[in-house]
């Protein structure tokens, strides 16, 4: 698996960094939620390469400013399954399944399977909130980094539809804890983003 990670880091460093930050944050949330160690470890492993399937999506679509067209959206939505196919022979099955399900939604409106609620592995439900939080609070090609307070509002807004409410509570407890802002979120503080 390390070879794939090296390929990811060399091909798309920003994507690899997003994976590393998401993995780190998601494991912190899982620990905070009192999850058992094997769950936490699976979340960390899956978090690092959850978007690896994007290596096979065209750069043009990934970096496009503004919303994707319908055709581009169909293309983008392929990345969880591509990632799953890429890693399934190389990692334990539960980890591959987290990669496959990281864009499912608890209300069943996600992809690729349209599964809902507890059909989505709890590890994926925890990873999703960390993924969204990092995507919002990090700079992207088409958008500057947004404040933590904005990410908090988005997570609250979609708790129970897109996101698992318990996972939302878990991440909010973490990021709203002043000790986390002081110690854990060093990179965000260095970026000068206020909580």
We find the least distance from the C-beta atom of residue 151 to Fe ion, in angstroms, to be: 16
We find the least distance from the C-beta atom of residue 194 to Fe ion, in angstroms, to be: 27
- Answer yes or no whether residue 12 interacts with Fe ion by CB under 5 A: no
44: alpha, beta or left? (left if phi > 0; alpha if psi -120 to 50): alpha
- Answer yes or no whether residue 104 interacts with Fe ion by CB under 5 A: no
Size of the site for Fe ion (CB under 5 A): 1
- Answer yes or no whether residue 123 interacts with Fe ion by CB under 5 A: no
Task: Give the integer Cα–Cα distance in Å for 84 and 169.
Answer: 28
- Answer yes or no whether residue 51 interacts with Fe ion by CB under 5 A: yes
Q: Which is nearer to Fe ion, 127 or 168 (CB)?
A: 127
Quick one: angle between helices 122-137 and 37-48, nearest 10? Answer: 50
Task: Give the integer Cα–Cα distance in Å for 171 and 26.
Answer: 8
Q: Which is nearer to Fe ion, 51 or 134 (CB)?
A: 51
Beta carbons within 8 Å of 77's beta carbon, 6+ residues apart: 103, 111, 112
Q: Which is nearer to Fe ion, 82 or 174 (CB)?
A: 82
Task: Give the integer Cα–Cα distance in Å for 133 and 117.
Answer: 20
Choose the binding region for Fe ion from 43-51, 112-120, 135-143, 178-186 (rule: CB under 5 A).
43-51
Q: Which is nearer to Fe ion, 88 or 195 (CB)?
A: 88
Task: Give the integer Cα–Cα distance in Å for 136 and 105.
Answer: 18
Site for Fe ion in 156-175 (CB under 5 A): none
> Footprint of Fe ion on this chain (CB under 5 A)?
51
């Amino acid at each position: 698996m390390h070879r794939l990670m090296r390929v990811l880091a060399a091909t798309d460093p920003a994507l690899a960094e997003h994976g590393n930050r998401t993995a780190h944050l998601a494991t912190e949330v899982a620990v905070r939620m009192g999850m058992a160690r094997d769950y936490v470890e699976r979340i960390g492993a899956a978090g690092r390469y959850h978007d690896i399937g994007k290596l096979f999506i065209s750069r043009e679509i990934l970096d496009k400013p503004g919303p994707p067209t319908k055709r581009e959206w169909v293309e983008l939505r392929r990345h969880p399954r591509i990632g799953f196919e890429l890693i399934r022979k190389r990692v334990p099955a539960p980890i591959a399944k987290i990669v496959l399900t990281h864009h499912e939604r608890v209300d069943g409106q996600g992809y690729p399977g349209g599964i809902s609620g507890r059909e989505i592995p709890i590890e994926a439900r925890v990873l999703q909130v960390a993924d969204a939080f990092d995507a919002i609070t990090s700079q992207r090609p088409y958008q500057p980094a947004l404040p933590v307070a904005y990410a908090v509002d988005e997570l609250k807004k979609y708790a129970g539809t897109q996101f698992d409410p318990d996972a939302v509570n878990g991440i909010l407890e973490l990021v709203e804890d002043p000790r986390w802002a002081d110690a854990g979120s060093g990179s965000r503080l260095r970026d000068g983003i206020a909580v």
